[in-house]
Amino acid sequence: MSGSAEPALLWLRRDLRLADHPALLRAREAGGAVVPIFVLDQRLWATAGTPRQAFLAGALADLADRTGGALRVLSGDPRTTVPAAARAIGAGSVHVSEEFTPYGTERDAAVREKLDAEWVATGSPYAVSPGRVTKGDGTPFKVFTPFSRAWREHGWRDPAPTVRTVDWQPYDGPHLRELPPAPDLDEHLPTPTEAAAREAWHAFRDDRLDGYADARNDPGLDATSRLSAYLHLGLLHPRTLLADLEGRRGTGVEVWRTELCWREFYADVLHHNPGSAWGNYDQRFDRFPWDTDDEAKERLGRWQRGETGFPIVDAGMRQLLGEGWMHNRVRMITASFLVKDLHCPWQWGARHFLDHLVDGDLASNNHGWQWTAGSGTDASPYVRIFNPMLQGPKYDASGDYVRRWVPELRGLEGKAAHEPWEHGGAAGYPERMVDHAAERTDALARYERVRS
């Protein structure tokens, strides 16, 4: 231990990196050793889904290596494990990056109450922490575009200087020798290390960012950054990326920065409306007549397995199961299909996505779903009844994406893969499970009931 200063407990959560880490910087400034821990909270672990578990396990292993083995993973409820660890090491302070999810906020308040040590929250997983950007009268924004304008005007801090030397000290109390078993990460998923995250960012910035505005909607291309899992667990901080874009011009940069802002917007909306995690943001939707009977559950199953008979929907759902990730355009199409064509509650789809996405994030996912369902922050649900038979050939014009994920369609060339019914069908591939035009009419009638 350095000098006589008390050690600082660094409780890592969604900030699994060493670069641009204000909380780590503050912990080090406390003057003593830094004792890093991560708490495997069963409540979060059990709902993470296997790709996220595997990614988290990899990221923790990387950090353990890079702290000279000092990072310890504790098990149990943070409300008891964190105060106990702080007491056991005689910590003068407990350092965190601030959390803003409904569960995280409550948990942190409970931990704080039980601490003898000082609680020091520095930074957050966002460039601008939720709650900071408000309208002129101090109330939260409800619409994205004015939020994004205010977010830019507000701006963000410069990246924190990277700490070179830290007096890392392992916590020697009870901890897990090994994480609970998680399956191997799919080879297509991002490598869960901070170095790989930085490399992925540089490759995107240098090779694909300029073309992003044009190519980002084609799911057959590798045109987006695929940084979402890194951002979710904090292997990269958005501030680092935004600083790197400073001075760069072009529509690619502008559009991409706006995408990052969606992540910040949804975190802000969830922060102000904790009930919107699983409840309708627009409460008029509490009376929406979703189908929830056994037949609806069967429809849900076909959607989950990618057996709807609509190629772009099935390709997306199979990509999710196969890879733990899905292209954004296809997330919108598949989500729209579940709520508008199959009339299932958005929460069913949101749960399935969180179970399988490596980047599963409560704010982005559940508000992405609510945007699609029409119960979210944007009040014009009608325009978004996507027609999967038009969306498919429009965005996957080559048909490569559906052929990659739906092998039954590989015998059909070009756009024909999007309309097997026009070409005598495809062996082993199901008929369309619904008549889109009829379901569209049905959905519109249901929406009318909410409006009236």
Ligand X SMILES: Cc1cc2nc3c(=O)[nH]c(=O)nc-3n(C[C@H](O)[C@H](O)[C@H](O)COP(=O)(O)OP(=O)(O)OC[C@H]3O[C@@H](n4cnc5c(N)ncnc54)[C@H](O)[C@@H]3O)c2cc1C
Annotated active-site positions, please? 259, 262, 290, 328, 346, 369
The count of residues in the chain is: 452
Q: DSSP 3-state assignment of 439?
A: helix
Q: For residues 450 and 142, give the distance between their C-alpha atoms in angstroms, rounded to a whole number.
A: 20
Residues 6+ apart with CB under 8 A from 452: none
Under rule CB under 6 A, residue 260 binds ligand X: yes
Q: What is the 3-state secondary structure (H, E, C) of 41-93?
A: CHHHHHCCCHHHHHHHHHHHHHHHHHCCCCCEEEECCHHHHHHHHHHHHCCCE
Q: What kind and span of H or E run contains 440? A: helix 436-451
Nearer to ligand X, 29 or 355 (CB): 355
Kindly identify the residues of this chain, within the stretch 113-142, that bind ligand X according to CB under 6 A: none
H/E element, 10: strand 8-12
- How far is residue 233's CA from residue 448's CA, in Å, rounded to a whole number? 40
**CA nearest 15: which of 124, 147, 92?**
124
SS3 for 435? coil
**Site track for ligand X across 188-217, x = CB under 6 A:** ----------------------------x-
**Residue 35's beta-bridge partner residues?**
9
Asked if 266 interacts with ligand X (CB under 6 A), we say yes
Q: Could you tell me which stretch among 16-24, 100-108, 279-287, 324-332 binds ligand X (CB under 6 A)? A: 324-332
332 forms part of the interface with ligand X (CB under 6 A): yes
Neighbours of 390 (CB within 10 A): 12
Burial 25-53 (b: 16+ CB within 10 A, else e): bbbbebebbbbbbbbbbeebbeebbbbbb
Binder to ligand X among 21, 79, 232, 302 (CB under 6 A)? 232
Span interacting with ligand X, options 25-33, 63-71, 261-269, 405-413, rule CB under 6 A: 261-269
Stretch that binds ligand X, among 31-39, 120-128, 269-277, 364-372 (CB under 6 A): 364-372
Site stretch for ligand X (CB under 6 A), options 8-16, 48-56, 354-362, 422-430: 354-362
Let me know the angle formed at the C-alpha of 443 by 282 and 352, rounded to the nearest 5 degrees.
65
Residue 257 in contact with ligand X, rule: CB under 6 A: no
* Long-range contacts of residues 139-145, Cβ cutoff 8 Å, at least 24 apart: 140/268, 140/269, 140/272, 141/265, 141/268, 142/269, 142/377, 143/377, 143/378, 144/261, 144/262, 144/265, 144/377, 144/378
Quick one: how many helices (H) and strands (E) in the chain?
19, 5
Interface with ligand X includes 285 (CB under 6 A)?
no
Nearer to ligand X, 62 or 359 (CB): 359
- Number of residue whose CB is nearest ligand X: 368
| Among 228, 276, 280, 319, interactor with ligand X by CB under 6 A | 228
* Residue 364 binding ligand X, by CB under 6 A: yes
Q: From 119-127, 163-171, 176-184, 219-227, give the range in contact with ligand X by CB under 6 A.
A: 219-227
The whole-angstrom separation of Cα 67 and Cα 166 is 9
Residue 105 CB, shortest distance to ligand X, in Å, is: 19
Q: Which of 189, 320, 335, 417 binds ligand X (CB under 6 A)?
A: 335
Residues 392-421, one symbol each (x = binds ligand X by CB under 6 A, - = not), give: ------------------------------
Tokens of 299: 């429809």
Tell the residue number behind the tokens 């027609």, with chain if given. Answer: 387
* Shortest distance in whole angstroms from residue 125 CB to ligand X: 10
Task: Name the one range near ligand X by CB under 6 A: 17-25, 186-194, 257-265, 293-301.
Answer: 257-265
Q: Does 331 bind ligand X (CB under 6 A)?
A: yes
Q: Which is nearer to ligand X, 329 or 403 (CB)?
A: 329
Does residue 372 belong to the site contacting ligand X (CB under 6 A)? yes
Which of residues 12 and 269 has its CB atom nearest to ligand X in the complex?
269
Segments of 105-223 assigned E as strands: 118-121
Q: Is 368 in the site for ligand X (CB under 6 A)?
A: yes
Contact with ligand X (CB under 6 A) among 365, 375, 377, 391: 365
Q: Is 338 in the site for ligand X (CB under 6 A)?
A: no
227 contributes a contact to ligand X by CB under 6 A: yes
Nearer Cβ to ligand X (229/406) = 229
d(CA 275, CA 330): 27
Positions that interact with ligand X (CB under 6 A): 216, 224-228, 231-232, 259-260, 262-263, 266, 328, 331-332, 335, 353, 357, 359-361, 364-365, 368-369, 372
